[in-house]
Every structure is written in C-alpha cells, then in structure tokens.
Structure 1
Amino acid sequence: MFRNYLKIALRNFAKHKVYSVINLGGLTIAITCCLLLGLYVRHEWSFDHFHIKADRLYRAWTQEEYKGDRFSNVSTPYILGPSLKETYPEVEAISRVLVMGLNVKKGADVMSERVHMADPDLFRMFDFPLIHTSGGNPLQELSSVVLTEDIARKYFGSENPVGKTIQMQLDSVMQAYTVTAVAKNIPTNSSIRFGIVVSMAHIKALRSDKTLKNWLNIEPETFVLLREGADPNKLADKYPSLLKTALGDYYTGNNYIINLQPVTDIHLNNELAGGNEPVSNPAYSYILSAIALFLLVIACINFMALSLGRSVSRAQEVGVRKAMGALRSQLMNQFWSEALLMTILAVVLGLVLAVVLLPLFSQLANQELQFRFDGTTLLFLLGLILVVGLVAGSYPALVLSGFRPVEVLKGKISLKGDVSWFRRGLVVLQFSLSVTLIASTVVLNQQLSYLQDKSLGYNKEQMVIVPTGISGSEGRQLVERYRNALTSQKDVVSVGASAFAFASGDWGEVGYTDDKKVYRKFRFNVVDPYFIPTYGVKLVAGRNFDPANSADIFGALIVNQAFVKQYGWKDPLNERLPGKFHDHRVIGVTEDFHYASLHSKVEPLVLLIRPDSLYRHIENINVSSSSAPDIAIRLSAGNLSRKVALLEQTWKRIAPNEPFSFSFVDTDLQRQYQAEQRLSRIVTIASGLSILIACLGLFGLATLAVARRTKEIGVRKVLGASVPDIVGLLSKDFLKLVLVAIVIASPVAWWAMNQWLQDFAYRIDVQWWVFILAGITALLIAFLTVSYQSVKAALMDPVKSLRTE
C-alpha cells in the first residue's frame, strides 16, 4: 500500500511541477532557517549542562540591603567559600574564581594573558577533562599552572608541556610556574572559560589579610558543590547563624542574604549582573525561536493555500477514486503521504543547506556552532517531519477526502463559502507574520542607529586605549614616562589615563553611611589631570584638576550633574561629601556623559586622582576590572596604522618588558551592542525570507486564479477590457488581503518592539510611519508577484483562451 501511495505522490509532483517547486522551495528555506536558529537556541540553553554534577553545582551570590536600597552581587567576599565549607556538612567542595590580566613571557616576548585564579577543587567540581597531567590535583602546589590546549600550543608548540615552566608576572616580578596539566579547550557553552589557571593560594600575597576576611569586600566568584541529597533551600535556613557570628551588630536578619544560583541558570539569567563571563538575554532566544516558527508557519500556509487552490482538480480525482471503491481513510493516507514525502525531501535539502551555511551563520551569531547528530537532533528532525507534514497535509487529508463522489462528478464543488474564507485567512496570517518581521527590522535598525549616533558627552573619535597592566605607583610612573615620550610627537594631540576605560565594563562603585545614617553610593573612576581634556568631557561648572596643585591630587573631586542632583546641591563647588570625607572637596562638575552603555541611565559619578583617602571611609567597594591605568591617546586624523605603529615603537622603548596592546574607543563601544546587532541582522534576513516564502505561495495562488478564470479573461478582452483592467481585476482580491494583514500586524509589531526597547534606558519612540513603510513594502512586493501572472494572462490572445476553454 505504501508503495502505491509513494508512486501516486511522485506522479502528482511530476504533473504539477510549479506547485511542487513552490512548496518544496518554501519548506526547504523555512526548515534551513529553523535548523540554524534551533542550533543557536540549543547552544544558548545548553550552558553548563555538560558537567556531570551540574545538578549539584551552584554559584553563590549575595544581597545587601541598607536604608531601603538592595544590592545584588555575584562577586563575593573571599571568606564566603571557605566559611560555607567549614560550617556546613552539606557543602562538599568550593572553588573561588578570580580573573586577572597578567604578563606572560615567551622567549624575549612578553604578552598579556587572561589568567584565572582558582581553588584546588575546581577540577574535582567541574568537568574540564585533562589530556596531559602529572597526576594528583593539578592546582595543589603554589607554583602549579594548568593550560588549555590552545595556550599550551601557543607557548610550547606541539610538545607535551607538563613538567616544563612558564614565566608569569603575578605581582611585580616574573616568576617560573610548572605546568602540571593540560586541559581540553573549554566548551563555548561554559560559564567558566579559562586559558591559564593558577592556585588561589597566591591571593594571600596580593591582598591584605583584612581584605581576605572582610565580608563586605567582594571580588571573586564563588562556586559551591553540594553533597548528594542536600537541599539548597534548607541550607539557606542555616545561613543567619553564620552571618550573625561573622557580621556582628551589622547583621539585622535580612540586610545580608546568601543565595545559591544553579550553574545551569547563570548564562540566561540577566537579572543578575554578569560575572567573569557575560550573560545572555533569554528574550533573544525566544525571539529567534518565534522567528523560526513564523517561517515554518508561512511555509505550511503555502502548502495548505495551494492545496485549497487546487481543490477543484483534486476533488475530481477524489470523486473518481471513491467511485472506484476507495475508502476515505485510504484517501487521507494518500494526501498525508504526499505531504510527508514533500516534508522529508525539504528536511533533507534543508539539512544539507544548513550544514553548508553553518560557518556563515556561526560568524553571524558569533558562536562556534556545530551539528551533533545525537539522539536529540534525530528526535528533533523526526518531530519536524511529522509536525510539518501533518499540518501542511491537514486540509487535503481532512477536507478533500470528505467530498461526495456524486456531487464532485456533477461538477458541484466550488471554492465558495467556508473554504474560500479559510484560504483568505491563511493568506492574511501569512502576510501578517511577514509585515510584523518587516516592521520589527525597521525599528531594530532605528534603535541601533540611535545608539551609534547619540552624543555620549565625550569625543570617541581618533582615540586609542593602551592598557598598562601595572597598578599602583609603578603604573602611574609608566603613564608619565609614556606621556612624556609622546608629547613631542606631532601626531599625538593629547594623552590621559584612567583606572577604567570607556566600554570596559562598569566603573567602580562604592557605598558608605554618612553622618546622618544615610547610605550613599556612587560610581567612581581614578583619573589623571589630562583625562577630561583628552576625552573632551565638558565642564559645566568649576575647573579641571591642576597637576601642580597637591591639594587637587589628594583631595579634589569632580562630579557629574547626576551626582549634584542626587545630593541636592544648589552650588556644588567646594562642597564636601557628607560624612567623614572632610579632606575632599568638589572643584568641578561635568555634564552627564555616558561612561556606561545606553542600556542603563547615567548614575552619580566621582572622578578623583588618588583614591587612598576615599577608600578609608567607604564600607563597600565593587570593582569589576583591574585598576591598572589605561592610557588614552587622541591622535590627529589620517593614516591611523602608521600612528599606531609609532605608539608601539615608543612603548617598546620606554617599557621593553611590558606587552603592548591597543584598542580604539569607538570599536570598544560598538561591542557593547553586539547582541542587538546580531539580532538585527538575523531579523532582517528572516523578514526577507518570510516575504520570499509568502510570495512563492502568492505566485502559486495567482497562477491558479488565472487558470480558473481563463475563459472570463478571454470574454472580457473581447468586450474591450484593457491590460490594466485585467491586472486590476486579478490583483485586487490579493491586495485586499495584504491590507487586512497590515492592519492586524501593525499593533502586534508595535507592542513587541516596545517591549524590546524597554531594555534600553535611552531609546527611540516607535513611529507610526514604520508600519506604513512595512505595509507599502509588503503591498508592493505582493503586487509585483501577482502582476507577473496577471499581465501574462492579460496579454494572452483571447481567441486562444476561448478555444482552450
């Protein structure tokens, strides 16, 4: 029986080549996109699931509350992890993870590398397989270092590096570290991504004992492995006794809370700030899943709409077969077999096309994606075949198979009534989805243009950032030597420095309680006197720092307008911070320049030269990156490559033992919106494909309409109808449906885009003309699609048309 179904299906495909190609082409395009987008979404949702103990692995995070303000931190106190392990038997192991930028020496070359510091249990808790090892715990010794395959190859070539040494500058001098293991390259779906790992025991030489034992100083991420059967919720009930002992009178019962976040929840939970690795907005996964579904629905509608259009011809087939004794179940199986066969062909072609396009899509998505033909993939492909095949073949299987042979053979079957309305409804749904995607594309691109063009309150052009990698007095001295060496260069306009560069992440944040018991917090940056003129930040009151004035160096503050507003100062100049900061005074006020991305509002900010006395009076400090100064160099316009080479030559002359690296400020700022840029490109491509698939179906329906009305067209031409009259007659019905689709899609797209824009503190307003533009685009494309068949029919010789009929 199946062989017979297959034979009839192949004959139908061969007999109706145009409709078969339209259906197959639409389904193939949709399935290709569905596979690629599904691969990306699967990758996003698979983060950290590869760890065998993933169900017992957690990241600790804390909440602090003071005077109604609540602060959430994924950076934790150094003492938190050891305290949890020592106090609670439910905790099997802990590992703190800290990321630092260190200098690593290879021969005569010194390079800056991202180095992780971790506790010895890291490799027992997480599944990072070791391909070379000297045995035992690879981080047990102070001088041990673990490398990944790529880093090992970079420094040791193809030889096994275990037992060999590598030079790293962990503090002020280069030291030798012995390679104890080589780990496989870390999967891209991991929330811990290292290249070099050293022991956390080194932290004792880098941080004071007071800092390491202070529950209010936060820096590393802390990961916790619970024992089997341990309940994190019951464990949470025990934390207050530990906190009461650790914090004393500061702890009031709910002002300091310890939480455990499952590691599998880290990547797609943007309610918490990102830790050492960036997190992803889960909304983007939902959006891409919806786009994949949209394309599949549009392709299935094509199949069903063309089946509706061919109802009359297929009804005659049904009538003859029923008259010959065929059962309705047999006819249903026949129609579904045709749909499933078409879907299988589309899935095979779509899979081949997806594999070919995967490198391009991986580049577009900025992910290292690859097909894994495992059980999940095969189950997904099987489900795709069944769902698409059954949905696409539902109309012919359920409706056509129910026609009565007597009525069919008498020619009483037509497309009027419910069937005609159903076909129109399918076309409206199809174009509603397409118009939604077109309008969304316009809004996405408008917002991105706004982000790129909005004035940030400083000049980002021709600006180069050179990180020093050295903190403290040595870093400041290096800045001065480099500035002095560049001053005589005519291509260098200005040189400034700051602890945190633009687009390098959140600037430092401090919090303290003033003399009126009010908790205050603000952002800060440690700068030099040349920072403001180098970046072109505008002062609205007061003056800049004076490098010759020692009072400015140790006690002057420059604040932004948001700071003045929060503190309620009418005349901020010479004001002092409320509380114990008697040795600080405000000498200037800047405009509210955007030191962070436009996702967040400008917060109160303090600029100062030496933070030492400030640190003495604050209670909380949160720093997400190294405080080693970054040097900002403004270059004159033209021939940037030659000028960057000049910067490198100068650097190697004054700091031969330090690595030279650089970045452009405008390029760094662009990276802040990479996720939005990728989404915009994907939605743009998807909207184009949706229109293409929809127009394929419209082309097929127009072809059927022309075929059914050949005699009418011939009669009208004989009676004097012109070509425009015929084109208008055949096009108006389809264009009315597209107009209805525009009316339906516009409020849906407006709501969806307004929801997406809420993620930006600074955003555009969705304009009404966006939907007019999307509608005109859809109408024009639909008209051109239908007009091809309409003009062709209008130009046909009416005598030939009537003779054919």
Structure 2
Amino acid sequence: MLTVLSLALGMAVCLLILTFIWAQKSADRFHTQSDRVVRVLSSEEGGFLLAATPAPLASALALEVPGIEASVRLGQLRSQVLQDGAAIEVTGLYAEPSFFDVFSFEGTGGDPRAVLSEPYQVLLSASAAATIFGTADPIGQTITLEGQGDFVVGGLLAEPPGASHLRFDILASFATLAASDRRADLTDWDNSRSFATYLLLDRPETSARLSDALSAISNRTYAGQDRRLSFQIQPLHDIALGLLISNEISTFSTPLVLVALLAALGLVVMLTAGFNYVSLSTARSIRRAGEIGMRKTLGAGRGQIAAQFLTEAVLIALGALVVTYGLLLWLVPAFNGLAPVQLLGAQISAGHLFDPRLIGLFVAFSVVVGLVAGLYPAAVLARFSPMAALQSRHSTTGFSGKWLRHGLIGAQFALALFFVLTTVLLVAQSRQLLHADYGFETDDLLTLQLQGQDIEVLRNELARYPEIVGVAGTSRLPMSGSTSNVQVSREGMAEPIPTFEYAIEGDALGVLGLDLLAGDALRPGGASDTAQTVLLNESAVRVLGLGTPGDAVGELVEMNERPTEVAGVVKDYHYDILIQPIGPMALVRAPGQIQHALIRARPGASEMALSRVRSAWATLDPARPVEVARFETQLSENPLSQIVGASIRLIGIVAAFAVLISLLGLLGMAAYHVETRVKEVGVRKVLGATRREVVVVLSSTFARIVGVATAVAVPLAWLASERWLELFAIRIEPSPWLLAGCALVMSALALSVVASQALRAAATDPVRALRSD
C-alpha cells in the first residue's frame, strides 16, 4: 500500500505536467490547414521577438512569394461596449475577410467574409452576444465601442471546436481601420507593434522560400536606416507552446522555459517516489527470500524471476494510476489557479483528463515507470542463491543492499527538506515585498483607474470628503510593472541614457510623500508647469553627471532629442517591480497621458475613503464599474508578486508531495527494519532493556540518515537561496535560525514516524518475539 501511494503521488505531479503540455500542444489543431499556417515575427537588432509586423508586409509578401495561398492581418481591439447605460469589457480583433480562409473559425447568421469587408461591422461570439443583448436577436443591432465608434452586428461566431491561441469576443472589420484615424498605420513600415500577420502556404516546403523573401524585403526596406527590422516565421503549431514572445496580439504563448521548470520539479517528485519503490522492494526481499529459493529449486531461471518482479512493478504502477486520477481531479483546479497559468490563458480543462489518447499515454507512462522502478529490485532478487534463500540466510547488506536503501532514504529526505526550506524563504521574501520601504508612503494610499474620467473633475468631487486629503494623477502606477522609456542625454554624451518616464499631474509628490531635494515640483500654477521641464531622480542626476541635486536644477538635457530644463530633483524611490536596483527616472507634466489617480486618505481612514471614492464614481460615471483599490492590493497583484506567489504555491505543492513521499518511505523502511530485528528486541527486553532503550536502538540508524541528509540539504538550500535572492533589489537575508528551525521541525517529524514503528516493536511480548520464525 505504501508503495502504491508513493508512486501515485509522484505520478500525479508528472501526469499533471504531461496533461498541461498535451493541452498546449493540442491548441489550434482543429484548423483544417494548421500544418500550412505560419505567423511572421519581427525584431530589431538585439531586441525581443515581437508577434507583430508592419502592416504593409503582407502585401509585399503576396507579390514576391507565389506559394502564399492567403494572408490575414489582425489588429488588437480592447474596449468597452456602452450599452443601456452599462460598460461591458470586451476583447477582440480587427480582421480581414481572409481570416476565414486561413483559420477554421465559423460564422453563423450571414456571410462572415462579407461582414469583415465593410467598415464598422462586427461579428460577436455567442457569449458576448448573450452578455450584451440577452435573449434579443443581435443581428442588425448597433453597439458602441468606446474610443472606436459605432458598429453594426453583422453575424455571430460559432464556438470553436478546440482551443486556440486566438481568443476574442468580437471580430471587427479590418476595413474600419482604413476609414479611421489609424489609416496611416496601414502603410507605415516603422510601426512593428500593431498588427499580426498570418500566412497560409501552399505546402510546408514553401517556408524556405518565404524566409529568403523576408530577408530581401528587410534589406530593401530598411537600407541606410539606423532602425532595422528583421523577420522570421513561426509555425502555427509552435505558438501556444513555444518561445517567449512580446506583443502577442491575443493571448500569451506558454514559454518552454516554464515547461522545463515544471518538468524538472515533476522529475524530482517522481525520483523520490522511485527511490521509495526501490528501497521498499529491496527491503521486502528478506520476506520473499524463501519464495524465490523455492521457485529456483523448481527450475525457474534468473530471467523468469526478474520477469515476475518486473511484472509486479508494472501492475503496482498501473494500480497507482487509478489513485493518481483521484489526485489529478484535485491538482488541476489548484494548477489552473496559479497566476502565470491564468495570465497565459493556459488552463487545463477537465475534459483533457478523459481524452482517450491522453489516457493511453498515461498508461504507457505508468508501464515505463513500473519497468524503470522495478528494474533494480528485479535484478537483485533474481540473483538470490536458492540454498541461502531457503535457509533464510540471504543477506542484502553491502552496497547493493543496506547502503543503497539508506542512501535512497537519505536522498529523499534531503530533497524534501530542500524544497521545504525554499518554500519558507519564498514566503519570507514575499512578505518583504509587501512591507518593504519603497521610498514613498504606501500606507493609506488608494489607486483608481480613470477610464477616461477627467482628473480635475474627480478631484473636485472628492474634495468634499474629509477622509480624502489629496488627489493627483499619473500615467502609470508605481510598482505595477508598467513602465515607459525615454532617451535622455546631455551635451557631450556619446549615447543617451534609457530612462523610465512617468507623467504626473497635481501634487503627485505630496500625495506619494516623495522628498524634493532641490528645485520646484511640477504642479499647476508653478514656475515649472510646462512640458519643457522635468523632474529627475538622484540616479538620473548621477548617471548624467549633473553634480549635486542643487547643481542639476536649471541644467538643460535632451529627452528624445528635445531640449528640456531640469526643474527639480527627487529622492530615489522604487517605481518599478523589485528585480533591479533603482535606475534613472524622469517625471514630466503631460496631461494627455494621465490614466490613474493617486488618492491619499487621512491616516486610519482608508476604508471610509474607499467607500467615498466608490460613491463619487457612481455619480461621475455610473456606466463603468469603479476600479479602486488599496495600494497594498496593487503590490500583491503586480507581476513580480504574482510570480513569487505562484512559485510559493508550485514549489509548496512539490515540497508537500516530496515530504509525504519521504515520510512514507521512512515509515515503510522503519517497519521492515523493525521486522528484521524482532528477535533482537526480544533478547534485549529479556535482558532488562527498557522501552526507551529499545526505541533509541531501533531509531539510531534513521537518526544518522536524517542527520546526514539535513547536513547536506541545509547548505544547499542556503547557497541556492543566495542565488535566486539576487534577483530582488530589496531582499531578505536568509536567517540561519530560520533554516535551522525548519530543519529541526522536519527532522523531528521524520524521527517521530520512525519512532512510531520502534514503539510498536518495543511493546511486543518478548516471549512471542523469541518464538517468531
């Protein structure tokens, strides 16, 4: 039973990862021509790969590559449908009519190609139509997309028969862009971030000719320019599970590095389960020595003995598979709840677990696990001497017996302890991220997404409430992971300095509690209330060589080649997620870029201030839901915190499985260890040994194993933590007392499991023990 349970635990983690990979590889397989569809990627020299290209590229390729049967350009559409006084958030795509030539999505209620041929027409998914119109017929109705215009619903989209990396509520006609103020983008070879280009090739071999054409177009288009784009193609089947690519038009692809990490963690858990099987099987050989000797006496050869035990191992693994399915039904929802999985849109559906092809793969995996796990025990048992086995004199001491079992048990415990320590340190670092000193006042600070609302109108509305003492605007929230760069230089510098840029409005410095070291703040009515001035932080002043903060005030710098005066210098503070030290930063006044409000509540009145903001928003914009939160909430939801939180849950699950498997191994080995020393226990008790002395004797071997494993795991965990903690600008220092305390608790837990078996043996009647065979 212990063997089945430990194998099931290890297999559950591995099969969960296998299911995840299967789900990702299954994406976009329902397109009938999927093996001939490619996506064009672009990149600047030394830059990231982008899942987007300039809009004119598709037309150029159609002229130069005869093997392209169809091409389609897609543009991202994120907006809100303003319907009956409500704002309904939707995601969608601008698409050309050829969308339905390349992909196997289907429309209902009309000709979808005709809908996408006319400006300001859309196709709605069935779910979006139900959300917007309820039970009413949406065909022919008009919807208003905020910032995009009014669109006529020309048809509906059928539910796709499978998963796709393209996910949307709305398909809007690409012709709309040509009729809007974005028409210039359609001929701009420098705009490489707005549109995705997909091609349907006549046959897969055309891709080589296509690559040559892409190189030629790049050379011709960007000849003599400083900025040069290069292009490459990516098969449709490689999108959902492939490279980490920026600027995805619809959803993120699952990077292979994440799959590799998951596979490594699954392998660790599977190894611990395999260690259990080998150690328990070799220990159990003592009880089966007589059976093996009898079979060999009756003529069975080594091969037959080995085949028998390999068959048993496979059957045990198949039995474990049944238990594994029960574990998977619990693990899949937990896995789908991980932040990176949700961000990537890479959830596993319950239906995948019952896909006959995947079930066949699970069975094959179980057979392989059984064969691999059973190979060593089968080889050991097949070598038993018939005479020694029948006389119960067979020994499994030496490297192939006791030392191997002890080594496997020690390795299990060391791995489990390593993951427990890593999880504990991750939790400590996560708390540090939430409670660190960021250089500005985070207490009683609220954030509000403006959604187009005028910041001055909002400020006047909130001024009525005594719980709110300050309101300012910003283009991006600090510590949110959202940044914008500007190139800053001064006379005599060879290269400009990449600098983070934030637009601010009102008394942003006062609301955030930032220290102005020199000069004037950028505020309405002030001397520096102009777009030609900037506030720099200390790091920018230092990198630009402007001297002291006082010396920097009044100096001229160039921001994106535009002369700008330094109005003031602010003390360094953490504005980006904590993966890098503080770098150069510029604060500018740009009212058109303000997207968020920073709201300072009176100390201790944050809850009431939240209520006041919600009430004010309901008055100002009842159609849109208010998006207001404490700053602490934003900190817990920024990309770094989500990654750390997901890592805690993921490694915590692995640690829990590793600990459970390790404890099961210790329990099984302790039980067999005690069984082999029953007579010894009887003799010791007859000679006057107490229960405590018997427990100490029987547990001493395992105490040494646990001690050695702890001595190995703790330094390794320390060294590993020193490496990954280097990723954080604000980091904890691993406490020796914390590591030692965790190791002590784990050791006590392990020894208590061993002691339970030793106590059972110590309570045995010595006379019965001495009579046992």
User: TM-score, normalized by length of structure 1?
Assistant: 0.84
Which residue of the partner structure matches residue 610 of structure 1? 590
Choose from 225, 238, 249 the match for 2:199: 225
Q: Distance in 2 between matches of 1:80 and 1:550?
A: 48
Q: 1:88 to 1:495 in 2, by over 3 A?
A: farther
Q: 1:569 Cα deviation (Å)?
A: 1.3
CA distance in 1, matches of 2:673, 2:205: 68
How far apart in 2 are the matches of 1:660 and 1:543? 34
Does residue 738 of structure 1 match 2:706? yes
1:544 partner letter: A
Q: Hey, what's the Cα distance between the residues in 2 that align with 1:58 and 1:94?
A: 10
Residue in 1 that maps onto 2:598? 632
- Asked if 1 retains the 8 angstrom alpha-carbon contact of 2:536 and 2:566, the reply is yes
Contact 2:725 2:731 in 1 (8 A): yes
Deviation at 1:783, TM superposition (A): 0.8
SS at match of 2:15: helix
After superposition, the C-alpha distances for 1:768-792 in whole angstroms (9 at most, x for unaligned) are 6665445434422221111111122
- The answer for the alignment partner of 2:544 in structure 1 is 567
Q: Which amino acid aligns with 2:502?
A: N
Match of 1:178 among 153, 156, 160: 153
CA distance in 1, matches of 2:110, 2:408: 62
Asked if the contact 1:56/1:225 (under 8 Å) is kept, the reply is yes
Q: Which amino acid aligns with 1:299?
A: A
Report what 1:598 is aligned to: 578
Residues 754 and 91 (structure 1 numbering): CA distance in 2 closer, same or farther, change over 3 Å? farther
Return closer, same or farther for 1:641/1:733 CA change in 2, 3 Å cut-off. same
Counterpart amino acid of residue 369 in structure 1 = I
Which one of 482, 492, 502 corresponds to residue 506 of structure 1? 482
Hey, what's the Cα distance between the residues in 2 that align with 1:459 and 1:262? 49
Q: Does 2:413 match 1:431? A: yes
The verdict on how the C-alpha distance between 1:700 and 1:407 changes in structure 2, with shifts beyond 3 A counting, is same
Shift in alpha-carbon separation, 1:218–1:562, aligned structure 2, 3 A:
farther
The match for 2:613 is 647
1:31 — aligned with what? 11
> Are residues 409 and 661 of structure 1, via their aligned partners in 2, closer, same or farther at CA, if it must alter by over 3 Å?
closer
Q: Structure 2 CA distance, aligned partners of 1:579 and 1:351?
A: 59
Q: Distance in 2 between matches of 1:213 and 1:458?
A: 45
Structure 1 residue 733: Cα displacement: 1.0
CA offsets per residue over residues 666-725 of structure 1, 9 Å max, x none? Answer: 323322132331221122122122222222221122122222212212222233333332
Give the letter for the 1:631 counterpart: A
Q: What is the one-letter code of the residue matched to 1:565?
A: R
Q: Find the counterpart in structure 1 of residue 471 from structure 2.
A: 495
Indicate the residue corresponding to 1:331 in structure 2. Answer: 305
Determine helix, strand or coil for the equivalent of 1:390.
helix
Indicate if the aligned counterparts of 1:514 and 1:520 stay in contact, CA closer than 8 A: no
1:696 pairs, out of 664, 680, 686, with 664
Post-superposition offset of 1:548: 0.9
**Counterpart in the other structure of 1:6:** none
Aligned to 1:482: 458
Gaps of 5+ in 2: none
Q: 2:278 aligned to 304, 325, 350, which one?
A: 304
Are the structure 2 counterparts of residues 436 and 580 from structure 1 closer, same or farther at C-alpha, using a change threshold of 3 Å? closer
Structure 2 letter corresponding to 1:479: I
Tell me how far 1:232 sits from its aligned partner.
Answer: 5.2
> How is 1:328-477 mapped onto 2 (pairs within 5 angstroms)?
328-355=302-329, 357-364=331-338, 366=342, 368-370=347-349, 371-372=351-352, 373-417=354-398, 418-470=400-452
Distance 1:247 1:552, change over 3 A: farther
Stretch moving more, 257-266 or 663-672: 257-266
Q: Per-residue displacement from partner, 1:139-163 (whole Å, max 9, x unpaired)?
A: 2211211222322221122455333
Provide the C-alpha distance between the structure 1 equivalents of 2:84 and 2:75, rounded to a whole number of angstroms: 27
Partner SS for 1:554: coil
* CA distance in structure 2 between the partners assigned to 1:212 and 1:550 by the alignment: 42
Q: Which has the larger displacement, 665-674 or 47-56?
A: 47-56
Cα distance change, pair 360–720 in 1 and its aligned pair in 2 (3 A): same
**Structure-2 change in CA distance of 1:54 and 1:777 (3 Å):** farther
Deviation at 1:190, TM superposition (A): 4.4
Q: Deviation at 1:484? A: 1.0
Question: 1:324: Cα distance to partner?
Answer: 3.0
Aligned equivalent of 2:43: 62
Which amino acid is the alignment partner of residue 545 of structure 1? L
Structure 2 CA distance for partners of 1:356 and 1:145, relative to 1, 3 Å? same
For the 8 Å contact 1:81–1:222, the answer to whether it is kept is no
Distance 2:72 2:733 in 1: 46
Query: CA–CA distance in 1 between the matches of 2:232 and 2:65?
Result: 14
- Distance in 2 (alpha carbons) for counterparts of 1:510 and 1:181: 43
Q: CA deviation at 1:117?
A: 3.2
- Residue in structure 2 matched with residue 713 of structure 1 by the alignment: 681
* Maintained 8 Å contact 1:103/1:659: no
Distance 2:571 2:164 in 1: 40
SS of 2:706 mapped into structure 1: helix
Residue-by-residue CA offset, 1:288-341 (whole Å, 9 max, x unaligned): 222322222222322222222222220111112222333444333332332222
Listed one character per residue, the Cα deviations across residues 100-152 of structure 1 (whole Å, up to 9, x for unaligned) are 54341221323444444344444443444445544435422112112223222
The counterpart of 1:535, out of the listed 509, 512, 516, is 512
d(CA) in 2 for partners of 1:750, 1:92: 58
Supply the AA of the counterpart residue of 1:286: A
How many residue pairs align between the two structures? 756
State which of 665, 674, 685 in structure 1 corresponds to 2:631. Answer: 665
Report the secondary structure of 1:399's partner residue: helix
Q: What is the CA deviation profile of residues 37-92 of structure 1, one whole-angstrom value per residue up to 9, with x for unaligned ones?
A: 43334445655565542663224222057xxxx57655654545554445554555
User: Does residue 650 of structure 2 align to residue 675 of structure 1?
Assistant: no
Query: How far apart, in 1, do the equivalents of 2:214 and 2:723 lie?
Result: 38
Whether the aligned pair in 1 keeps the contact of 2:309 and 2:378 (CA below 8 Å) is: yes
Q: Cα–Cα, structure 1 residues 555 and 759, in superposed 2: closer, same or farther, change >3 Å?
A: same
Q: Is the 8 A contact 2:115 2:155 kept in 1?
A: yes
2:533 counterpart residue number: 556
**How far, CA to CA, are the matches of 2:369 and 2:437 in structure 1?**
49
Instruction: For 1:688, give the aligned amino acid.
Output: A
Deviation at 1:389, TM superposition (A): 1.7
Q: Which amino acid aligns with 1:456?
A: Y
Whether contact under 8 Å (2:413, 2:662) holds in the other structure is yes
1:271 Cα deviation (Å)?
5.6
Whole-angstrom distance in 1 between the partners of 2:651 and 2:53: 38
- Single out whichever of 560-569 and 195-204 deviates more from structure 2: 195-204
In the superposition, relative to structure 1, how do residues 180 and 782 fare at CA in structure 2: closer, same or farther (>3 Å)?
same
Pick the aligned partner of 2:750 from 764, 782, 792: 782
Residues 41 and 232, structure 2, Cα contact 8 Å, conserved in 1:
yes
Classify 1:348/1:193 alpha carbon distance in 2 versus 1 (closer, same or farther; 3 Å).
same
Distance, in Å, in 1 between the alignment partners of 2:269 and 2:95 is 46
Contact 1:98–1:219 (CA under 8 A) maintained in structure 2: no
User: Which deviations, in whole Å up to 9, do the C-alpha atoms of 1:230-272 show, x marking residues without a partner?
Assistant: 6556545445654565446425xx8543344455555666764
Q: Name the CA distance, whole Å, in 1 between partners of 2:257 and 2:305.
A: 43
Q: TM-score, normalised by structure 2?
A: 0.87
Change (3 A) 1:74 1:774: same
The offset of 1:528, in angstroms, is: 0.8
Change (3 A) 1:682 1:206: same
Letter in 1 for 2:296: K
2:505–2:594 CA contact under 8 A, matched in 1: no
CA drift at 1:568: 1.7
Matched-pair contact (CA < 8 Å) for 1:133–1:182: no
What's the % identity of the aligned pairs? 27
Any conservation in 2 of the 1:94–1:222 contact (CA below 8 Å)?
A: no
Contact (CA 8 Å) 1:118, 1:199: kept in 2 or not?
yes
- Give 5+ residue unaligned stretches, structure 1: 1-20, 613-626
